[in-house]
A and B are shown apart, each in its own frame.
Chain A
Amino acid sequence: MTKRALITGITGQDGSYLAELLLGKGYEVFGIVRRTSTPSDIRIAHLGDRVKAVVGDLSDTPSLLDAVEESQPDEVYNLAAQSFVGDSWRQPIYTGDVDGLGVTRLLEAIRRVKPDARFYQAATSEMYGKVHEVPQSETTPFHPRSPYGVAKVYGYYITLNYRESFGMHASNGILFNHESPRRGLEFVTRKITYAVARIKHGLQSELRLGNMDSKRDWGYAGDYVEMMWLMLQQDAPGDYVIATGETHTVREFCEIAFSHVGLDYQDHVVVDQRFVRPAEVDLLLGDPSKAKRVLGWEPKVSFAGLVEMMVDADLARLGG
C-alpha cells in the first residue's frame, strides 16, 4: 500500500530534501504551495510532476481542509513558515499567524479530515533563545527572544496539546540550525558562502555581517530530514532534539569559508550594525542523545565539510 505524505513548505530547503527522501522511499508526495506571481518552486523543479502541488496557505483554513482531503495523507510534515528570525521583528504578526496559529489551523484540518495521519511539526532551537542550560535538550525550558521564537514555542505546545487531548500521533522535531547549498540567501551561512563565491569571482569585494561572535550548532539539512521521517515511523509520537552537539561562531564559519578559496575573511568582512538583532541568541548547542538512542541519529557531514560543500556549490553556480 503506497504511503502518502503531505508536506507544507515543500518549496523550501527542508521541503525539497524531504520530498526527495520520501519519493526515494516510494511515497506519493503532495506539497502545499502558496500562490505567488513569481514562481517559487526552484528547489523542487527538478522533481517535476512526481510531486503533486496543491495550492494553499497556512493562513487559510479552507485551503488546508482541501489539501488534506485531496491528499488523504498517512503523514503530514509541517515545514511551512516565515523562517527568517531577523525578519520576524519586521513582520511579527504575519510570523505569529503562519508560524504559530498556522500550526493550529493545520492540526484542526487533520483532526477533521484524517485524524489518524501522523504529524510532524518543525520546532526549532530558537525556542531556547536566552538558553537556560548548556547544552539544550528536550527538557530545557524555553526562553524565546524573537517573534519567530515565540511563534514556534506556541506551535510546539499546540502540537503537544493535540497529541494529549485527541490522541494524535503528533511530534515535534527540535532541530538546531541545518544548512545546505539550498539554504536561502538571507541566512548567514549561505550569505557568507555566496559572498565568498562572488568575491572570488571579483563580483563584490566586501561582506557585511552582524554579530560575529554568535554561536550556533550547524548541521547539514540532508541529514536532518531523515530524522523527521524516522520520528513518524515510531509507534509513539515524541519530541526530539536533532543537532550535531558542536557549536561554532559566525567568525569560524567565515574563517573556513574564505580560506577554502584561499582568501582571508578579515580582508573582506565588515560588521554592520543593521544586521545586529534587537535581542540576540548568543549560543545554541544541542544535546541529541535521545535521538541517538531512539532513532539512531548520527550526523554524517562535519562542520568544515558543510562549509566547504556550500562554498563549492556557490562557486559552481558562478561557473566554478
Chain B
Amino acid sequence: MTRRALITGAAGQDGTYLTELLLGKGYRVWGVPGPYPGDFHERAAASEGRLEAVEADLTNMVSLLEAVEASQPDEVYNFAAQSSVGDSWAEAIATTEVNAVGVLRILEALQQLAPKARFFQAASAEMFGNAAEAPQRETTPLRPRSPYAASKTYAFHIVGSFRDSYGMHASNGIMFNHESPLRGLNFVTRKITDAVARIRFGLAQTVALGNLDAQRDWGFAGDYVEAMWLMLQQDCPDDYVVASGEVHTVRDFCEAAFAHVDLDYRDHVVVDERFMRPVDVSVLHGDPSKAKRVLGWAPRVTFGELVVMMVDADVARVSAQSEGVRA
C-alpha cells in the first residue's frame, strides 16, 4: 500500500530534501510549493506522477481542507513558514499568521478530514532563546526572544494541545540550524558561502555581516529530514531535539569557508550594524541524545564537511554563471 505524504513549504530546503527522501522510499508526495516554487514544478513534471503540486496557503483554511482532501495523506510535514528571524520584527503579524495560526489551521483541517494522519511540525531551537541551560534538550524551558520564536512557540504548544486533546499522532521536531547548498541566501551560512564564491571569482570584494560571535549548532539538512521521517514511524508521537550537538561561531564558519578557497576571511568580512538584531540569542547548542536513543538517528555530515559542501556548490554555480553557462 503506497504511503502518501503531504508537505507544505515543499519548495524550500527541507521540503526538497524530504521529498527526495520520501520518493526514494516509494511514497507518493503532494507538495505545496508556496509563493516561491523555484524548480518544484519541473521536478514534479519529471517524477512520473509520483510528485504532485497542490496549491494551498496557510492563511486560507479552505485551501488546506482541499489540500488534505486531494492528497488523503498518511503523513503530513509542515515546513511552510516565514522563516527569517531577522525579518520577523518588521513583519511580526504576517510571521505569526503563517507560523502560528497557520499550524492551527492545518491541525484543524486534519481533525476534520484525516484525523489518523501523522503530523510533523518544524519547531525551532530559536524557541530556547537565551537558553536556561546548555546544551538544550526537550525539557529545557522555552524563552523565545523574537516574534519568529514566539510564533514557533505557539505552534509547538498547539501541537501538544491537539495531541493531548484529540489523541493525534502529532510531533514536534525542535530543529537546530540545518543548512545545505539549497539554503536561502538570506541565511548567514549561505550568505557567506555565496559571498566566498563571488569574491573568489572577483565579482565582489567584501561581505557585510552582523554578530560574528553568535554561536549556533549547525548540521546538514539532508541528515535532519531523516529524523523527521523517523518521528512519524514511531508508534507514539513525541517531541525531539534534532541537532549535531556541537557549536561553532559565525566567525568559525567564515574562517572555514574562506580558507577552503585559500582566502583569509579577515580580508573580506565587514561587520555592519544593520545586520545586528534588536535582541540576539547568543548560543544555541542542542542535545540530540533522545533522538539517538529513541529514533536511532545521528547526523552524518560534520561541520567542516558542511562548509566545504556549501562552498563547493556555490563555487560551481558562480563559475558556470561567470562562464556564461547555465548551471
Interface check B166, CB cutoff 8 A: yes
Q: Are A93 and B104 in contact (CB under 8 A)?
A: yes
Interface check A16, CB cutoff 8 A: no
Q: Size band of the B side of the interface?
A: 20 to 34
**C-alpha gap A151/B155 in the complex (Å):** 9
Q: Are B161 and A146 in contact (CB under 8 A)?
A: yes
CB-CB under 8 A for A100 and B279, given A93-B108, A154-B100, A165-B89:
no
Within the complex, which residue of A108, A150, A151 is in contact with B93, where a contact is CB–CB below 8 Å?
A: A108
**C-alpha gap A148/B286 in the complex (Å):** 30
Q: Are B96 and A161 in contact (CB under 8 A)?
A: no
Interface check A149, CB cutoff 8 A: yes
Q: Are B154 and A278 in contact (CB under 8 A)?
A: no
**C-alpha gap A100/B146 in the complex (Å):** 15
Q: How many A-B residue pairs have CB under 8 A?
A: 95
CB-CB under 8 A for A100 and B105, given A147-B158, A279-B165:
no
Q: Are B146 and A161 in contact (CB under 8 A)?
A: yes
Q: Which residue of A lies closest to B105 (CB)?
A: A93
**C-alpha gap A157/B165 in the complex (Å):** 23
Within the complex, which residue of A100, A107, A161 is in contact with B154, where a contact is CB–CB below 8 Å?
A: A100
Q: Which residue of B lies closest to A89 (CB)?
A: B165
| A96 / chain B contacts, CB cutoff of 8 Å | 100-101, 104, 154, 158
| B141 / chain A contacts, CB cutoff of 8 Å | 141
CB-CB under 8 A for A154 and B146, given A93-B104, A93-B105, A97-B101:
no
Q: Are B161 and A161 in contact (CB under 8 A)?
A: no
**C-alpha gap A157/B146 in the complex (Å):** 9
- Nearest CB of B to A316, in Å: 39
> Which of A142, A147, A161 has most B Cβ within 10 Å?
A161
Q: Are A101 and B93 in contact (CB under 8 A)?
A: yes
**C-alpha gap A146/B100 in the complex (Å):** 14
| A279 / chain B contacts, CB cutoff of 8 Å | 161, 164-165
Q: Are B150 and A150 in contact (CB under 8 A)?
A: no
Q: Are A145 and B93 in contact (CB under 8 A)?
A: no
Q: Which residue of B lies closest to A105 (CB)?
A: B93
Interface check B144, CB cutoff 8 A: yes
Annotate A70-113 by CB proximity to B: 1 below 8 A, 0 otherwise. 00000000000000000001001100110011001101100000
Q: Are B101 and A93 in contact (CB under 8 A)?
A: yes
Within the complex, which residue of A93, A105, A149, A158 is in contact with B150, where a contact is CB–CB below 8 Å?
A: A158
Q: Are B96 and A154 in contact (CB under 8 A)?
A: yes
Q: Are B161 and A101 in contact (CB under 8 A)?
A: no
Within the complex, which residue of A101, A107, A108 is in contact with B97, where a contact is CB–CB below 8 Å?
A: A101
Within the complex, which residue of B147, B151, B157 is in contact with A144, where a contact is CB–CB below 8 Å?
A: B157
Within the complex, which residue of B89, B100, B142, B149 is in contact with A100, where a contact is CB–CB below 8 Å?
A: B100
- Nearest CB of B to A142, in Å: 8
CB-CB under 8 A for A161 and B104, given A93-B61, A154-B151:
no
**C-alpha gap A101/B279 in the complex (Å):** 20
Annotate B157-193 by CB proximity to A: 1 below 8 A, 0 otherwise. 1101100111000000000000000000000000000
- Nearest CB of B to A27, in Å: 29
Q: Are A154 and B165 in contact (CB under 8 A)?
A: no
Annotate B126-159 by CB proximity to A: 1 below 8 A, 0 otherwise. 0000000000000001101111011101100110
Annotate B276-288 by CB proximity to A: 1 below 8 A, 0 otherwise. 0011000000000
- Nearest CB of B to A168, in Å: 12
**C-alpha gap A107/B160 in the complex (Å):** 27
Q: Which residue of A lies closest to B159 (CB)?
A: A150
**C-alpha gap A149/B166 in the complex (Å):** 16
Interface check B92, CB cutoff 8 A: yes
Q: Are A61 and B93 in contact (CB under 8 A)?
A: yes
Task: Using A100-B100, A150-B161 as known contacts, list a sample of 14 further A-B pairs with CB atoms less than 8 Å apart, ordered by residue number in A.
Answer: A92-B104, A93-B105, A101-B101, A105-B93, A145-B165, A146-B165, A147-B158, A153-B154, A154-B151, A157-B149, A161-B144, A161-B147, A165-B89, A278-B164
**7 tightest CB-CB pairs across the interface, nearest first?**
A278-B165, A154-B154, A165-B278, A157-B150, A279-B164, A141-B141, A150-B157
A-B contact list, 15 entries, CB within 8 Å: A100-B96, A100-B154, A107-B92, A108-B93, A142-B142, A144-B161, A145-B165, A146-B161, A147-B158, A147-B161, A149-B157, A153-B154, A154-B150, A157-B153, A278-B165
